[in-house]
Amino acid sequence: MGKPTGFLEIEREDLRDEQPLKRLNHWNEFHKPMAQEAIQNQAARCMDCGVPFCHTGTNLPSGASGCPVYNLIPDWNDMLYKGQWKKAFKLLMKTNNFPEFTGRVCPAPCEGACVLGINEPPVTIKNHEYSIIEFAFEQGWIIPRIPSKRTGKKVAIIGSGPAGLAAADELNQMGHTVTIFERADRAGGLLMYGIPNMKLDKQKVVERRLQVMQSEGIEIRTGIEVGLDVSVAKLQDEFDAIVLATGSTVPRDLPVEGRELEGVYFAMDYLTQNTKSLLNSNHSDTNYINAKGKNVVVIGGGDTGTDCVATALRHGCKSVEQLEIMPIPPESRADNNPWPEYPKIYKLDYGQQEAKAKQGKDPRKYEVMTKRFEGIDGKLTAVVTTQIKWISKEGRMIPQEVLGTEKTITADLIFLAMGFTGPEQKLLKQAKVNISERGNIESDYGKFTTNVEGIFAAGDCRRGQSLVVWAINEGRAVAKECDGYLMG
C-alpha cells in the first residue's frame, strides 16, 4: 500500500472526455488520457484492503461483482503509485489478454465492488487499466511473443470475438497451432462491428492487437463461414480440437403490429453497417442506414441502445428518443442492491450525455411499452406506446398497462436494442452439439466440453449474452481445458 492516507486526502478524478457537442462531429474516440502523475495520484486512493472484493470475479444475484478475469488490482495500483509502470503492465498481462478492450468498454464491476465505494466514490480502476496498457504500447513493451516450440497439435477456433481471441492467444502461447475462422470480412466479432468506433477504435486498438497476435503465429481466416463455406466435419478431420466461440447473435425481436414496416431495424444491423461503411469508405459508399434528418426511436435501454443513440446523433438525426420498459433507477443504491453488487443507479452514459447536450434532456423514457408501429404505404411514421407499472403476481414482477396513457411518437427509424436470445443454431446442429433449454450450447463452466469429443464451447454462445470481460474469462479457461485434452 503506497499511501495509507491516500483515500482520505485525494478525491476521485475521471478521464476528461471531449465535450459532447464537439465530439458529435467525428467518429474518433473522445477520451482524453490523463497524465502519468495524475494516474499515480489516483492509484494512491487504493486502500489495499485486507479482503479486497475488486478482483474476486463473483456472480451475485444482480450480476458480476468484482473483476471476472481476476486482475490483481491492489497490487498494480500500488505499483502505479510508486511509478513502477512496467511492473504494473507485466502484472496486468498475467490476468487479462486485452486490457485495451476492457479498459474502454467494460462497465467496471471491479469499481462496483471497491471497498472505498461503500461510502466514497470508488477507485478509478478502469482508467488505470486503460492507462497502463496504452503506456505499454507507447513504450514498445508489447512485442510478439513467439512460442519457442510447437506441440504439433492444431486447434480451430470458430468466432473472433473476445472469447475466441482470448482462447487463441492462450492456446498459441501453449505451443499449439491456432487458426481462427471468422465469417465477417474483418476479425474481432463484437469488438469490430458490434461496438461503435468512438467507443473502441478499430484501427488504432482492435487491429493493433490482431496484428500482434498474427505476428505471434496465429492464423486468422476472414470471410469464411463454418457450416457453409467449410463443414464442421472437414475441420474435425484437419484439426485436433475445435473451440466454438460464435457469440450470442440472434437478436430479440418485438412481434407487434407494424413490425414489417420499412424503417424498423435490429440495432446490431444498424451499428454493423455503420461501422463497416465508416471503415471501408468513411461513409462515402452510403452502404448504411442513415439517420440524418430522421426522427429516431431506440427501443431498449442497455449499452447497445446507447450506442444507437450516439450513432444517430453523429448522423445528424432530427431527434432521438430511447424507450426503456424498466423503472428509472434510483440515484443511489437501493436496499436490494447492496455493496459489493454492481450498483444499479441512475447515470448518463456517453450517448445520453450527447443527447442531453444536443436536445436539452436525457432521451430515455422509463416504464414504456410498445403497442404497435404505424406507417403509410409500407413506411414507418410512428410508434404507439403506453406507460406500464410493475406489479407482483405469483411471486413474479410483471408489467401492467396504465389505462389512458397511450401516446403516439413520430418515428422515421426504429432500432430494436432489446438484447439477444442465443447463438445461431445452424452451425450448432451441423456440429451435433447439445443445446440447453435457453438455446445455448450445453457445456459446463469450468469444463467447457460439449457432448462431441474434441469440441469445446466458450463465451456468449455457451453462457448467453454477457460482458466482454466474461468472454475473456471463458476464452482463457477453455484454452486450459482444451490444452489438457490435447496433451493428455
We report the CATH number of the domain holding residue 86 as 1.10.1060.10
Task: Give a yes or no: residue 161 inside a domain.
Answer: yes
Task: Give a yes or no: residue 149 inside a domain.
Answer: no
pLDDT band at residue 97 under the 50/70/90 scheme: very high
**Residues 395 and 476 occupy one common structural domain:** no
Residue 150 dihedral angles phi and psi, to the nearest 5°: -110, 150
Task: Give a yes or no: residue 263 inside a domain.
Answer: yes
Among 116, 139, 162, the domain-final residue is: 139
Is 384 a residue whose pLDDT tops 80?
A: yes
How many CB atoms within 10 Å of residue 347?
10
**Residues 13 and 78 occupy one common structural domain:** yes
For residue 139, count CB atoms less than 10 angstroms from its CB and return exposed for 0-12, middle for 13-18, buried for 19 or more.
Answer: exposed
In 83-225, alpha helices (H)? 85-93, 99-105, 109-112, 125-139, 162-173, 207-215
Structural domain count, the chain = 3
Residues whose CB falls within 8 Å of the CB of residue 470, separated by 6 or more in sequence, listed in order: 64, 68, 459, 463
Task: Give a yes or no: residue 144 inside a domain.
Answer: no
Task: Give a yes or no: residue 428 inside a domain.
Answer: yes
**Residues 374 and 439 occupy one common structural domain:** no
Would you state the pLDDT for residue 2?
Answer: 66
**Residues 281 and 353 occupy one common structural domain:** yes
Q: Which helix (H) or strand (E) holds 19?
A: none
**Residues 259 and 245 occupy one common structural domain:** no
Among 418, 443, 458, the domain-final residue is: 418
pLDDT band at residue 125 under the 50/70/90 scheme: very high
**Residues 231 and 265 occupy one common structural domain:** no
Would you state the pLDDT for residue 126?
Answer: 97
pLDDT band at residue 183 under the 50/70/90 scheme: very high
Question: Is the CB of residue 224 less than 8 Å from the CB of residue 182?
Answer: yes
Among 418, 440, 462, the domain-final residue is: 418
Task: Give a yes or no: residue 147 inside a domain.
Answer: no
**Residues 171 and 291 occupy one common structural domain:** no
Residue 418's SS3 state is coil
Task: Specify which residues 264 forms β-bridges with.
Answer: 414
Q: For cell 450448432, name the residue.
A: 428
Would you state the pLDDT for residue 60?
Answer: 82
Would you state the pLDDT for residue 1?
Answer: 60
* Domain hosting residue 27, numbered range: 6-139
Task: Give a yes or no: residue 411 inside a domain.
Answer: yes
Mean pLDDT in residue range 429-448: 96
**Residues 272 and 260 occupy one common structural domain:** yes
**Residues 105 and 163 occupy one common structural domain:** no
Cα 319–199–291 angle (5° rounding)? 25
We report the CATH number of the domain holding residue 187 as 3.50.50.60
Inter-CA distances, 466 with 95, 163, 249, 393, 463, Å: 19, 11, 12, 28, 7
Residue 345's SS3 state is coil
**Residues 367 and 221 occupy one common structural domain:** no
Would you state the pLDDT for residue 395?
Answer: 86
**Residues 226 and 324 occupy one common structural domain:** no
Give the tens place of pLDDT for each residue, 213-240: 999 999 999 999 999 999 999 999 999 9
C-alpha cell at 468: 466482454
**Residues 331 and 350 occupy one common structural domain:** yes
Residue 436's SS3 state is coil
Question: Is the CB of residue 462 less than 8 Å from the CB of residue 447?
Answer: no
Give the tens place of pLDDT for each residue, 139-165: 999 999 999 999 999 999 999 999 999
Is 51 a residue whose pLDDT tops 90?
A: no
Task: Give a yes or no: residue 37 inside a domain.
Answer: yes
